[in-house]
Amino acid sequence: MRTFRRILGFVIIFLISVGIFTFLLTPPSGIRVLLHQAKEGNYDTLIMGESHAECGYNPYIITEGTGHETVSVARRITPINNIYYILQEANVDDKYKTVILDIDPYYWRLDQTRDPGQDMNLMPYITGAKRWEYFKNVVWPDRFVKLFCDYQLTWENIQKIPNCVRAKLDKEYIENNDNAMNAVNMYLKSDTAFTYEGRGFLRGVNRAPDLGWEDWEFKGDVEQSNIDSLEQIKAYCDEHGIKLICVQSALIPSRLKTQNMGDVHDYFDNMLGAMGIEFYDFNYGKWEYLYRTDNDYVDMDGHMMGDIADRQSRLLVEVMKSDNPEQYFYSNYDEVLANLD
C-alpha cells in the first residue's frame, strides 16, 4: 500500500508539474480564437491557409464585394492535414457555402514537417468523433508528445512567460473574443510588423527584419499526405455543397525572378484542374490589376503590406464574379517576368 501511495503521489506531482509548465510555456492559441469566431459568427465564406493567407486576403473587402459575410481562419505554420479538420470544425453548423484556400507551395515540399504542435494542436478545440480521428491520424503518428508538452524549456521561452501568462489571463482571450488576437500577436511579437483588424486578418504595416528566408527550388515532388488531405477537403466540400476555390497569393517580385515559380504554377494548375478545383495564381495577375514592387511586402518571404492585400482582395472579388476570369491573368510565366519591374 505504501508503494502504491508513493507511485500515486509521484504521478500526481508529475501531472501538476506538467500542467504548470504547460500553462507558463505553451503559447496562447490563435487558432482557438479564430475557430470560435468562425463557428459563432454569421459567416458563409471561409478563408483558409497559412501566413500568406492570413495577411493577403481582407475579409471585409471580400464581404463588401461579394455580398457574402467572410471570415478567415488562416494561420501561420498550419499543416495541410490540419486544414481538413479546421474546416470540419468551423462548419459544424453546416453554414459555409464557399471556401477560399490559399496554396503556399512552401508547405507542400517533401521536407516540410507536418507538426501538429505549437498553435496547431487542435485536440482541445475539435468536438465529437472528429477528435478521435484527429488524434489517430495526426497527433499520434507525428509528435504525440506535443499534445501535452508543446514547448521547450529554453531561456528564450522562460523570458516569454510574463507575456504568455498575460495573454492567457486576458479577459478577451478567456472569452474567445476576436480582440484576443491582439494579445496573441503581442506574445508572438508580430504586432510590430502587423496590426490585427478582426475576422482573422493581419494588416502588414511595417517592414520586418530579415527572417532568414532563402531560395528553395520546387522539384515537382510534394508530400503525398498533403495531396490526400486536399482530396479530403474537396470531398467534404462536395458533400456539403461548398464551393472550393484555391488561390496563391502574389509573392514578392524579387522571388519571382530567382525561383522557378512557373513550375510551381504548372504543377498546382494541373493537379487542381484534374480534381475539378478552380485555381487562381495571383503571381500571374496582370500588372494593371495587381501592380506590385518589393516595397509592397513586409519581408522577403512574401507577407503582404495592407495596401497590396486590399488590392489582391479586390482582384479576387472581380475574379469570383467574372464569367471570364482568365482575362485578369497572364497566360504564361514569360509574360509574368516580362512585366516585372
For 241-289, write each residue's pLDDT tens digit.
Answer: 999 999 999 999 988 888 888 999 999 999 999 999 999 999 999 999 9
In this structure, of 108-122, 279-293, 303-317, the range with the lowest mean pLDDT score is: 108-122
pTM here is: 0.91
309-335 pLDDT, tens digit per residue, is 999 999 999 999 999 999 999 999 999
Comparing 151 with 303, the larger pLDDT belongs to 303
Quick one: average pLDDT of 44-53?
Answer: 96
Q: What is the pLDDT of residue 260?
A: 85
Which secondary structure element, helix H or strand E, spans residue 336, and what is its range?
helix 333-338
Contact 150, 118 (CB under 8 A): yes
Contact 206, 305 (CB under 8 A): no
Please name the residues in contact with 125: beta carbons below 8 A apart, sequence gap of 6 or more: 29, 31, 32, 35, 89
The answer on pLDDT for 190 being more than 80 is no
The answer on pLDDT for 208 being more than 80 is no
Q: What is the pLDDT of residue 47?
A: 98
Q: What is the pLDDT of residue 148?
A: 62
Q: What is the pLDDT of residue 155?
A: 81
Q: Which residues pair with residue 252 across a beta bridge?
A: none
Q: What is the pLDDT of residue 119?
A: 66
Alpha helices (runs of H) in 48-176, residue ranges in sequence order? 51-56, 59-66, 80-90, 130-134, 140-143, 155-159, 161-169, 171-174
Q: What is the pLDDT of residue 296?
A: 94
The answer on pLDDT for 212 being more than 80 is no
User: Cβ–Cβ contacts within 10 Å for residue 32, how many?
Assistant: 17
Q: Which residues pair with residue 278 across a beta bridge?
A: 245
The answer on pLDDT for 131 being more than 90 is no
CATH class of the 28-338 domain in this structure: alpha beta
Q: Which residues pair with residue 70 across a beta bridge?
A: 45
Q: What is the pLDDT of residue 146?
A: 62
Give the mean pLDDT of the chain: 88
Q: What is the pLDDT of residue 129?
A: 87
Q: What is the pLDDT of residue 151?
A: 67
Residues 248-259: b if buried by 16+ CB within 10 A, e if exposed: bbbbbbebbeeb
